[in-house]
Structure 1
Amino acid sequence: MTTDSTTPPDDFPHGIGNPARRALHAAGYTALDQLPAVSEAELLRLHGVGPKAVRVLRAALEAKGLSFAGE
């Protein structure tokens, strides 16, 4: 999903918001399938990723039978 002309495509859910999307991209994450290698705490340390984004990402991962590292 492309959010604007400056954000590369990804498959993150729409509800995470643009600041979280940009933070994930800056950290090198461009696909939901990459996130099971990352803990919730690591994501929350990214500037722009907050509890709401983590909840939305967790739900998207769970829908695919996946979870964050350590869960």
Structure 2
Amino acid sequence: MTSAPDSDLPAKLGKPAERALAAAGIQHLSDLTSWTERDVAALHGVGPTAIAKLRTALAERGKSFA
């Protein structure tokens, strides 16, 4: 499963993280602004590396987790 074509999530997320985010309805970085970092990390398949990539991508756009 790859990110949706219009998704702005980092391209180098692992497949388990991509599946976990998709299952939670997260397709865009803006979706993460209503989630806490802790809640995203609790999703099965989302580990510290994915969280770091998401945090960096959010920061690059002036956004952050809730």
TM-score normalised to the size of structure 1?
0.82
Distance in 1 (alpha carbons) for counterparts of 2:57 and 2:46? 15
Equivalent position of 1:48 in the other structure? 45
Identity value in percent: 47
Name structure 1 gaps, 5 residues minimum.
none
Q: Which runs of 4+ in 1 moved over 3 A?
A: none
Deviations 1:17-68 (A, max 9, x none): 1110110000111111110110111011100001100000000000000011
Larger radius of gyration: 1
Matches within 5 A, 1:1-71: 3=2, 9=4, 10-69=7-66
What is the number of equivalent residue pairs in this alignment? Answer: 64
Name structure 2 gaps, 5 residues minimum.
none
Distance in 1 (alpha carbons) for counterparts of 2:12 and 2:56? 11
TM-score normalised to the size of structure 2?
0.88
Distance in 1 (alpha carbons) for counterparts of 2:12 and 2:48? 12
